Amino acid sequence: MADAGPGENRMLATASHRKLNSRLACQIRFDDTFDGMAIRIAPEDATSF
């Protein structure tokens, strides 16, 4: 998977639960290579809105 671009990094910068491997779900193209992968969804972060 390609690295996060500048726009995605700007959007993730305000997330209080961001990890080094965090990505916006809308940027991930799922296919068979992700079969069996575990996904952790961060809790809602309403503080930045």
Output the tens digit of pLDDT for each of the chain's 49 residues.
788 899 999 988 988 888 888 888 888 888 898 899 888 888 776 555 4
Q: What is the 3-state secondary structure (H, E, C) of the chain?
A: CCCCCHHHHHHHCCCCCCCCCCCCHHHCCCCHHHCCCCCCCCCCCHHHC
pTM (2 decimals)? 0.60
Rounded distance between C-alpha atoms, residue 28 and residue 49, angstroms: 23
pLDDT on residue 48: 52
In the chain, where are the structural domains located? 6-42
